[in-house]
Amino acid sequence: MSSKTLATLFAAVVAVRGAVTQQPLIWDNVRIGGGGGFVPSIVFNPNAVGLAYARTDIGGVYRLDPYDDTWLPLLDFANDTTSDFWGTDALATDPVQPENLYIAVGLYTNSWDPNNGTILKSSDRGESFSFHPLPFKVGGNMPGRGMGERLVVDPNNNNILFFGARSGHGLWKSTNAGETWSQVKSFPSVGTYIVDPTDTTGLNSDIVGISWVTFDKNSGTTGGSSRIFAGVANMGQDNVFVSTDAGATWSAVAGQNNTFIPHHGVLSPAEDALYIPYANGVGPWDGTAGYVKKLFIGNMSWVDITPAQGIADNSYGYSGLSVDLQKPGTVMLAPFNEWYPDANILRSTDGGASWTQIFSFGYPPPDYVGTKTPYYNYDDSQAPWITTFATGDTKQVGWGIQGLAIDPFNSSHWLYGTGLTIYGGHDLLNWDASPRKNITLSSLATGVEETAVTGLTAPSSGGPKLVSVVGDVGGFVHTDLTTPPPTFSNPIWPGTASDVDHAGASPSNIVRLSGISASTSVSVATSSDGGATWAPYAGAPAVSDNVYGGKIAMSAKGETLLWAGATGFSGIMVSKSGAPFTAVSGLPSNAIIASDKLNDSTFYAASGSSFFTSTDGGATFKQTATLGSSTSPVRIAASPFTAGELFVSSDKGVFHSTNSGSSFTAIPGPTNAWSISVGKGASSTGPSSLFAAATINGVNSLYRTDDLGANWSLLPSYSTGLGSASGMVLAADPNVYGQIFVGTNGRGIFYGHL
């Protein structure tokens, strides 16, 4: 099914729904300037100049625009039913017909994702896709996602594809260009390596499986390549296999050392050799040893090309590896999780016999006395938040480097993915100059917006348009929506932030809450100038108390903070004017909370079917109403326009109160709802609008009503589906009718407008 056919279907689905009409907004990203999450792989097409893709673990796939170094998202059509398409475990760009693109999608192989995987196929470089189901799950956000590629097209017959599965499902083959698949039963290993067999979540206790397949391009016949290599996540058992009869039979390559796991099999056709980096973990965070091997295909003999200790620090594994197709024997190599002082990327121009460093440093341990002297100039001007976020960190080159690629048509151009963003440059040959010249190492991820958003707040005036908090990289103050913003400082939390709120009647006052262990600074910070400057909150628990996470609400004038769901404290806490947080009375410990946006003494809470109000600044709560038959309230959204007006979403829909929660009426339409937010009304005399991530007529999506539920508009477009409805984080723009900010779980923040 193409996405154009989808447009027709989309309209047809909605037409039968009376008061629910399709009214797609115009959608764009709120830009942070690139990245914000792990980029496991970058894949260039070897036969089309400038064609490259970046694969992410929870935010889909992007295509490079080689003329301006920006990236175009390709899987934004994913909506609630296809939200697991944003997990991408492997990607293949067809070397024969470069217009063809294949992506293996699916988020998890454990119960977190109920769906089997899918092969997405495009014949127009990702403008549209057909979907080809697999009979097993695909784990795009699972361990080992930076190995590969485990999906490949035969360069000698592009109807033939191989896909290496996880979970013990083995090696699969398609002979009709990805439309149907069958298992290669003769393949000798389904994989045995499991990161952590005791992990009861299932995330780390599954078999990582076949990690890469590489066709020997030089072994072509009209029927396809006869020689094919495959690597398997096995440790201490054979893990590099070869077929010399086009995949009919397989054997372990003789003479291999199987102590560690092979991450990639990179063919250097001119050298007739295969380069293989190995580690004792699968990535992105877990290697403590490794080596690098080169297999000469002509005589099937192995050579160890591991950099000497001292040039490298061999207390990490190796993963990212690329060869320069224009310069046989030029190879680059990344220690994927070397964290101190930084990832020392290495380069060889003699086929791995000797290596040079991207920075010099005094290895080996315990001799960590070196000064890090970069052979690069650093440029993160396209993503200036990185410098603030990395304050006090020794790393610039990155961490989690599993996808590293030299442009097959230009030896000066290279790109690699890290846990944070994409780096690269256009002057790589400076590395080889004598005397050596610096390269410029740049953040080159513009267009890649892959944060997982945990909270948003849109102040009504006197400050930024939006303040966001996100997983892994903290969050941002967005004074406009297109310029990359700085990130928070004082304090900088080196990781996930969990919530943010502003004072409705005094909107320059903002609070943010850390989602990570408060090991270096307190976990509550406030700003009184619209997020321009911040300070640790005086009443926050001491660092030694290690209380963090949960959700926080700021009173209308900003004097009082209410805090629920903290790790390290049982129950709901309140603090006024910088006094220490103390427990509130009258609330169950699992209550969700919110402030009235205009009445400084009023706070709201809900738990089960019970609704609670505090009229004394959060000190005490009393149950004031019942939310129908709800068993799990999700969000309380107070109106920024009218004191005492609020909405509550729950597993039974959306409830509305105009009397500070003394009574509620159910809003027609939703049978279940997640994030909700109150926006400016369609007219100055009518009601406010309400945005809801909800189930209406059985369809989970994002909706708006301008008449308290009489009519609903379905807001995603067929090209911007916004992913999972339950994953959406909403903040309506209080100043612009119809404008909504939508945080996603992996594709950053969108804003939609009329």
Ligand X SMILES: *[C@@H]1O[C@H](CO)[C@@H](O)[C@H](O)[C@H]1NC(C)=O
Least Å distance between CB 336 and ligand X? 17
Residue whose CB is less far from ligand X, 338 or 472: 338
Pick the piece of the chain touching ligand X (CB under 6 A) from 51-59, 241-249, 561-569, 596-604: 596-604
Least Å distance between CB 706 and ligand X? 9
Pick the piece of the chain touching ligand X (CB under 6 A) from 161-169, 204-212, 327-335, 370-378: 370-378
Pick the piece of the chain touching ligand X (CB under 6 A) from 5-13, 386-394, 618-626, 736-744: 5-13
How many residues line the site for ligand X (CB under 6 A)? 38
Considering the rule CB under 6 A, would residue 257 count as an interface residue with ligand X? yes
Phi, psi of 321 (to 5 degrees): -150, 135
Among 23, 116, 175, 546, binds ligand X (CB under 6 A): 116
Considering the rule CB under 6 A, would residue 291 count as an interface residue with ligand X? yes
Considering the rule CB under 6 A, would residue 96 count as an interface residue with ligand X? no
Least Å distance between CB 277 and ligand X? 13
Euclidean distance between CA atoms 143 and 147, whole angstroms: 9
Q: Report the chain's terminal Cα–Cα distance, integer Å.
A: 28
CA angle 146, 149, 150 (to 5 degrees): 105
Residue whose CB is less far from ligand X, 395 or 521: 395
DSSP 112: T
Among 205, 218, 601, 735, binds ligand X (CB under 6 A): 601
SS3 628: coil
In DSSP notation, 648-659 reads: EEETTEEEEESS
Phi-psi region of 18 (alpha: psi -120 to 50; beta: other; left: phi over 0): left
Q: How many residues does the chain have?
A: 754
Pick the piece of the chain touching ligand X (CB under 6 A) from 114-122, 475-483, 515-523, 582-590: 114-122
- Alpha carbon 82 to chain centroid, angstroms: 16
In DSSP notation, 606-622 reads: EETTEEEEESSTTSB-E
Task: Select from 424, 388, 348 the least CA-distant residue to 69.
Answer: 424
Residue whose CB is less far from ligand X, 79 or 239: 79
Q: Say which of 76, 313, 472, 600 is annotated catalytic.
A: 472
Residue whose CB is less far from ligand X, 412 or 479: 412
Q: How far is CA 230 from CA 393, 533, 607, in A?
A: 38, 53, 53
Least Å distance between CB 326 and ligand X? 8
**Residue 130 CB: number of other CB atoms within 10 A?**
16
Considering the rule CB under 6 A, would residue 659 count as an interface residue with ligand X? no
In DSSP notation, 531-558 reads: TSS-EE-TTSPPGGG--B-SEEEE-TTS
**Is 57 known to be catalytic?**
yes
Pick the piece of the chain touching ligand X (CB under 6 A) from 145-153, 293-301, 392-400, 651-659: 293-301
Sign of CA dihedral 189, 190, 194, 195: positive
Residue whose CB is less far from ligand X, 301 or 490: 301
Considering the rule CB under 6 A, would residue 299 count as an interface residue with ligand X? yes
Euclidean distance between CA atoms 485 and 331, whole angstroms: 36
Which residue of this chain has its Cβ atom nearest to ligand X in the complex?
135
Q: Judge whether 57 and 141 are in contact, CB under 8 Å.
A: yes
Residue whose CB is less far from ligand X, 79 or 330: 79
Q: Judge whether 10 and 718 are in contact, CB under 8 Å.
A: yes
Least Å distance between CB 556 and ligand X? 9
Euclidean distance between CA atoms 552 and 541, whole angstroms: 14
Q: Judge whether 688 and 679 are in contact, CB under 8 Å.
A: yes
Residue whose CB is less far from ligand X, 257 or 394: 257
Q: Which of residues 146-165 bind ligand X (CB under 6 A)?
A: none
Considering the rule CB under 6 A, would residue 259 count as an interface residue with ligand X? yes
Considering the rule CB under 6 A, would residue 218 count as an interface residue with ligand X? no
**Residue 16 CB: number of other CB atoms within 10 A?**
8
Considering the rule CB under 6 A, would residue 135 count as an interface residue with ligand X? yes
Euclidean distance between CA atoms 289 and 530, whole angstroms: 47
Least Å distance between CB 81 and ligand X? 5
Q: Judge whether 621 and 603 are in contact, CB under 8 Å.
A: yes
Considering the rule CB under 6 A, would residue 699 count as an interface residue with ligand X? yes
Q: Say which of 57, 313, 600, 706 is annotated catalytic.
A: 57
Rg, Å, the chain Cα set: 27
**Is 651 known to be catalytic?**
no
Considering the rule CB under 6 A, would residue 296 count as an interface residue with ligand X? yes
Considering the rule CB under 6 A, would residue 602 count as an interface residue with ligand X? yes
Considering the rule CB under 6 A, would residue 710 count as an interface residue with ligand X? yes
Among 410, 609, 697, 735, binds ligand X (CB under 6 A): 410
Q: Which of residues 436-495 bind ligand X (CB under 6 A)?
A: 438
Pick the piece of the chain touching ligand X (CB under 6 A) from 178-186, 227-235, 292-300, 536-544: 292-300
Considering the rule CB under 6 A, would residue 2 count as an interface residue with ligand X? no
Considering the rule CB under 6 A, would residue 114 count as an interface residue with ligand X? yes
Euclidean distance between CA atoms 285 and 38, whole angstroms: 11
Residue whose CB is less far from ligand X, 81 or 354: 81
Considering the rule CB under 6 A, would residue 82 count as an interface residue with ligand X? yes
Considering the rule CB under 6 A, would residue 517 count as an interface residue with ligand X? no
Considering the rule CB under 6 A, would residue 360 count as an interface residue with ligand X? no
Pick the piece of the chain touching ligand X (CB under 6 A) from 2-10, 328-336, 476-484, 689-697: 2-10
Residue whose CB is less far from ligand X, 602 or 689: 602
Sign of CA dihedral 108, 36, 284, 52: positive
Residue whose CB is less far from ligand X, 81 or 658: 81
Pick the piece of the chain touching ligand X (CB under 6 A) from 51-59, 170-178, 441-449, 599-607: 599-607
Considering the rule CB under 6 A, would residue 643 count as an interface residue with ligand X? yes
Least Å distance between CB 116 and ligand X? 4
Which residues lie closer than 8 Å to 631 by C-beta, 6 or more apart?
A: 608, 609, 650, 651, 652
Q: Judge whether 76 and 88 are in contact, CB under 8 Å.
A: no
Euclidean distance between CA atoms 578 and 191, whole angstroms: 56
Euclidean distance between CA atoms 391 and 660, whole angstroms: 44
Least Å distance between CB 522 and ligand X? 30
Q: Judge whether 151 and 90 are in contact, CB under 8 Å.
A: yes
Pairing mode, strands 439-443 and 331-335: unpaired
Half-sphere exposure of 113 (CA within 13 A, CB side): 27
46: buried, middle or exposed (CB in 10 Å: 19+, 13-18, 0-12)? middle
Name the site residues for ligand X (rule: CB under 6 A).
6, 9-10, 13, 19, 77, 79, 81-82, 114-116, 135, 257, 259, 291, 296, 298-299, 301, 374, 376-377, 410, 412-413, 426, 438, 599, 601-602, 615, 643, 699, 701, 710-711, 721
Q: Which residues are catalytic?
A: 57, 472
